[in-house]
């Protein structure tokens, strides 16, 4: 099986796709589009030359909530690439309490394994389901032992039962037995939880591979009976049969290649591991230690995982940070050199908020309208109401803390609180949100001195 299928999108097409979900920030979109296209170009080169071309890693600079994470996440989804988001501030230098920096590579490989497994599973789904139905039929209509020959007096009975099974098979496939309850044997595995109870906080990540390796070691897997419907049993058996049919060695091999050549790691809050991020005090040695621990992984090294050795040379790293106190030049020079592309994302304006509310495929207003439609309520927003919501979001960000587009989530929840609460009682009605409705709900809160208490 070949590596997961992916379209060779043009940089312009990549930006157009990102425009459907993220408002503005064209410089950042252009940078990631070029980075993605360069990957496609590299994979077409002779192997010797391709090995020499490393990704042009990117640092995104901008306040929270302006689209940094969303750009990286949507890019990975578009590229059908394994994606992991980690916060640099969660890491500490090896030897201190905290997360081992190599854990992000192990996380990336796990994501790749899941992606490849899902692809294999889709290909064998039909075959696995047929075997699952056979197992259900064995419970509902057990097949008799096959006689040695057709002369055996038991043969007519055997033939009738086989024909009956075939007839009933069609009924099972058509869902006529979906609600019938049957007893299914499931494996019950022991888990050495005591090991993990000793481990505290973030260091538990270091024992994830150990957990998988020791699961069931102290006590062999047991079986227990569980009652479920035929429909549930078919789904359960389909999953079991698919697991048996998948060649995990091939999955591992392909997943490692996928992670190495197409993986994207989003390294958030990178500004918080600079020495200046503490404002001149704090454990600067630890922060610089984190940078030095990250350096070999970003430069290109090998990381052992339970699935095999992973090379990090061609993984794309996208770092991000607000850089309010620190600046990219406060990172150690070696790390700066591994992020040659720097793009600035801008704070959101009132017009940006209007667009965020209405234009993207997953726009907030569209989400709330869809939610209310499930209860037969038509939720209508007038143009002036949307502009007023955007204005209040901008004011709240300006007067408290700038949290970008996330401000809209809290404002919309407060604005629609009563409508959402009364939803079932409003069935069959049209609810119109106009400017007056927005002002009545939000004006008093926005004008309060302790506004942060109400909209955080």
- pLDDT tens digits, 125-171: 889 988 988 888 888 877 766 666 666 666 666 677 677 777 778 88
User: CATH topology for 11-111+253-344?
Assistant: Rossmann fold (3.40.50)
Structure tokens at 286: 């630890």
- The domain spans of the chain are 11-111+253-344, 124-251, 350-442
Q: What is the C-alpha separation between 238 and 241, in angstroms, rounded?
A: 5
| DSSP track, 66-123 | SSHHHHHHHHHHHHT--EEEEEGGGB--BTBSSB-TTHHHHHHHHHHHHHHHHHHHHH
Q: What is the mean pLDDT of residues 266-273?
A: 87
**Is residue 198 very low, low, confident or very high in pLDDT (cuts 50, 70, 90)?**
very low
Rounded mean pLDDT, 221-227 = 75
3-state secondary structure of 369: helix
The binding site for ATP comprises 23, 65-70, 268, 334, 406
Closest-CA residue to 70 (of 39, 9, 24): 24
pLDDT in tens, 26-41: 888 999 999 888 888 8
Residue 300 scores a pLDDT above 80: yes
Nearest to 65 by CA among 338, 291, 336, 345: 345
Q: In what order do the strands lie in the sheet with 58-61?
A: 83-87, 264-268, 316-321, 58-61, 341-344
60-90 confidence digits (pLDDT tens): 898 888 888 888 999 999 888 999 999 888 8
| Nearest of 351, 357, 278, 263 to residue 314 by alpha carbon | 263
Q: Could you report the per-residue pLDDT of 401-418, keeping only the tens digit for each?
A: 778 888 888 889 888 988
Residue with tokens 């086989």: 162
Domains 11-111+253-344 and 350-442 share a fold: no
Torsion of CA 441, 442, 443, 444, to 10 degrees: 80
pLDDT at 307 over 80: yes
Model confidence band, residue 336 (pLDDT cutoffs 50, 70, 90): confident
CATH of 350-442, one of 3.40.50.1980, 1.10.8.60, 2.160.10.10, 3.40.50.300: 1.10.8.60
pLDDT of residue 449: 45
Q: CA of 387: how far to CAs of 353, 354, 436, in Å?
A: 8, 6, 12
Structure tokens at 91: 């890491």
Which parts are annotated binding residues? 23, 65-70, 268, 334, 406
Cα–Cα distances (Å) from 41 to 34, 74, 95, 124, 271, in that order, read 10, 20, 40, 32, 31
Query: In this predicted structure, what is the pLDDT of residue 381?
Result: 92
Query: Confidence class of residue 189 from pLDDT cuts 50, 70 and 90?
Result: low
Rounded to whole angstroms, how far apart are CA atoms 410 and 397? 12
């Amino acid at each position: 099986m070949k590596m997961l299928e992916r379209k060779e999108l043009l940089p312009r097409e990549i930006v157009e796709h990102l425009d459907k979900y993220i408002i503005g920030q064209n410089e950042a979109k252009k940078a990631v589009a070029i980075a993605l296209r360069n990957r496609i170009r590299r994979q077409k080169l002779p192997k010797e030359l391709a090995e020499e071309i490393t990704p042009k890693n990117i640092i995104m600079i901008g306040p929270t909530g302006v689209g940094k994470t969303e750009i990286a996440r949507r890019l990975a989804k578009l590229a059908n690439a394994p994606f992991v988001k980690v916060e640099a501030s969660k890491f500490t230098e090896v030897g201190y309490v905290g997360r081992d920096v190599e854990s992000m590579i192990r996380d990336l490989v796990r994501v790749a394994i899941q992606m490849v497994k899902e692809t294999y599973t889709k290909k064998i789904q039909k075959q696995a389901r047929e075997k699952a139905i056979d197992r259900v039929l064995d419970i509902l209509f057990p097949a008799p032992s096959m006689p040695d020959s057709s002369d055996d007096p038991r043969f007519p009975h055997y033939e009738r039962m086989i024909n009956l099974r075939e007839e009933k098979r069609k009924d099972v496939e058509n869902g006529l037995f979906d609600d019938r309850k049957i007893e299914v044997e499931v494996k019950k595995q022991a888990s050495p939880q005591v090991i993990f109870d000793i481990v505290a906080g973030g260091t538990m990540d270091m024992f994830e591979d150990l957990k998988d390796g020791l699961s069931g070691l102290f006590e062999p897997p047991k079986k227990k009976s569980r009652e479920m419907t035929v429909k549930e049993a078919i789904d359960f058996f389909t999953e079991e049969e698919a697991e048996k049919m998948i060649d995990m060695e091939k999955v591992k091999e392909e997943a490692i290649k996928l992670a190495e050549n197409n993986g994207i790691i989003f390294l958030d809050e990178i500004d918080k591991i600079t020495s200046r991020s503490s404002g001149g005090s704090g454990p600067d040695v630890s922060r610089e230690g984190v940078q030095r621990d990250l350096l070999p992984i970003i430069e290109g090294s090998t990381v052992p995982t339970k699935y095999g050795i992973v090379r990090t040379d061609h993984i794309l790293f996208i770092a991000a940070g607000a850089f309010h106190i620190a600046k990219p030049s406060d990172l150690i020079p070696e790390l700066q050199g591994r992020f040659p592309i720097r793009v600035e994302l801008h704070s959101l304006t009132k017009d940006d908020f209007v667009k965020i509310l209405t234009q993207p495929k997953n726009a907030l207003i569209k989400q709330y309208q869809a939610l209310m439609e499930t209860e037969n309520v038509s939720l209508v927003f007038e143009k002036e109401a949307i502009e007023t919501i955007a204005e209040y979001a901008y004011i709240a960000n300006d007067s408290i803390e700038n949290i970008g587009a996330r401000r809209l989530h809290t404002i919309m929840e407060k604005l629609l609180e009563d409508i959402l609460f009364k939803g079932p009682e409003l069935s069959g009605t049209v609810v119109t949100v106009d400017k007056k409705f927005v002002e009545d709900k939000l004006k008093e809160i926005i004008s309060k001195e302790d506004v942060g208490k109400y909209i955080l």
